[in-house]
Structure 1
């Protein structure tokens, strides 16, 4: 298989990671484009990508690390804007969260995540423990679940409650979701894409966002369809069948950024 074909298969999921890492579709997709542009211009980088999915994410990590370094340098020269700059730096995903996203959302082993981050397996495992502990300390959120499969809806409700959050309601259609959000705007939305009456979870979320700025996590069996980088797409995506670890990581990251300004 050619390098181009290999990258085409893996890029949607790299976009998923990049968006979760930055809290923004625009910023995450821009970093992925930067990696591809670097690969086109640099034969050494392009050759390194022949190493497969781990090599791709490792190369992306170098781009991300460089972007963070630039942001730190800008903050160092912030002058009287220092407080604002430091606040923005506080929204850069820490290494512990990177390790958690890699081992849950992207399903890498601790050893593979260590290769990507340049850390030992033991260090990655400790970083993951730190991230989980930090997420467990996060402020409780009120969560609206939009899911038309009753069993999945119940599983999500139990999982969300076990993580310490409240449920504002569950909806199986766009109309139900809109009604619930009008009664009480949630602090977080978990939404399926295809709903019971043929309506779209994407449209339901647009209705809710018209009421207020709410972080949203989409849950779908076909994430690659919403990770093309070609149009307005979700920032946070979980693949069905989901795991508790992936839901925990996605919720933690979505609430980490919340409605604040993401890293550009």
Structure 2
């Protein structure tokens, strides 16, 4: 591969890390998967798609008994979180666009039968907090608390022991969302989805980072997919 090709791969690494982390459920396993595929042969397709394809091929199979197949999970993550067009996502997983469309429809149906859990939302913008609550409840989950304050978030998590936390990074005067999650993780092992306008701040692989990121402004399906993956395949992203 020429220098231009290597530069394009480096440029695509943040997206590749986000996909791998969401697919495996944790930063360490996702970043290890990216490192593994970079040491091997990269498929002959545009760099970003090539990394997605290599990661999809090398990813460990999810545990049996889930509502979705590995391919369905991959297609949902690629189209909803990574915002790929259907033909590109189909190319990544190696099937036709028609077959990919059918797989995605089946996967979306499975979302409605996903595991129900208690959720805490940590968000300082009231309108966004309201939108997140509405979408989370539409997925069938129970929102047990909403807060914009770091200290309150820690106390609420200890009280409610939620099955999922959705958090903003910057809480303004309320503190820091990453710090709140780190404190919560000391006492409660819980998957976390960060909803942020600045995902690049958490995709450097230079420190402990979350497995699940949804970028503001977000689409309802993206949040639903991240929630499903966090609950069914995720491990706590910050410890």
- Pair in the same fold by TM > 0.5: yes
The answer as to whether partners of 2:17 and 2:30 remain within 8 angstroms in 1 is: yes
> How far apart, in 2, do the equivalents of 1:232 and 1:10 lie?
20
Structure 2 CA distance for partners of 1:136 and 1:186, relative to 1, 3 Å: same
Match of 1:9 among 3, 11, 15: 11
Cα distance per residue 1:145-178 (max 9 Å; x no partner): 0000111011101111111111111111101211
Unaligned runs of 5+ in 1: 40-44, 69-86
Of residues 21, 26, 39, the one that matches 1:37 is 39
SS of the residue corresponding to residue 125 of structure 1 reads helix
- Give the aligned partner of residue 185 of structure 1: 161
Q: In the alignment, does 2:58 pair up with 1:63?
A: yes
For structure 2, the residue ranges without an aligned partner over 5 or more in a row are none
CA deviations on 1:50-90 (whole Å, 9 max, x unpaired) are x23223322333333xx54xxxxxxxxxxxxxxxxxx9555
1:185–1:211 Cα contact (<8 Å) kept: no
Return the alpha-carbon distance in structure 2 between the equivalents of residues 142 and 212 of structure 1. 13
Displacement after TM superposition at 1:200 (Å): 1.1
TM-score with structure 2 setting the length: 0.89
Distance 2:132 2:164 in 1: 13
C-alpha separation in 2, matches of 1:11 and 1:159: 30
CA deviation digits over 1:124-148, x for unaligned, max 9? 1111122122221122111100000
- Number of paired residues? 233
Determine the C-alpha separation between the residues in 2 that align with 1:193 and 1:169: 17
Do 1:220 and 1:239's aligned partners in 2 also have CA atoms closer than 8 Å? yes
In the TM superposition, residue 208 of structure 1 has moved relative to its aligned partner by 1.7
Mapped partners of 1:57, 1:181: distance in 2: 35
- Write out aligned runs for 1:201-220 (5 A): 201-220=177-196
Q: Is the 2:17–2:31 contact (alpha carbons within 8 Å) kept by the matching residues of 1? A: yes
Indicate yes or no: 2:22 matched with 1:20: yes
Cα pair 2:115 2:232 within 8 Å, conserved: no
CA shift digits 1:92-119 (9 cap, x unpaired)? 9611111111110001111111100111
Structure with the greater alpha carbon radius of gyration: 1
Q: CA RMSD in A?
A: 2.2
Q: 1:247 aligns with which of 218, 223, 230?
A: 223
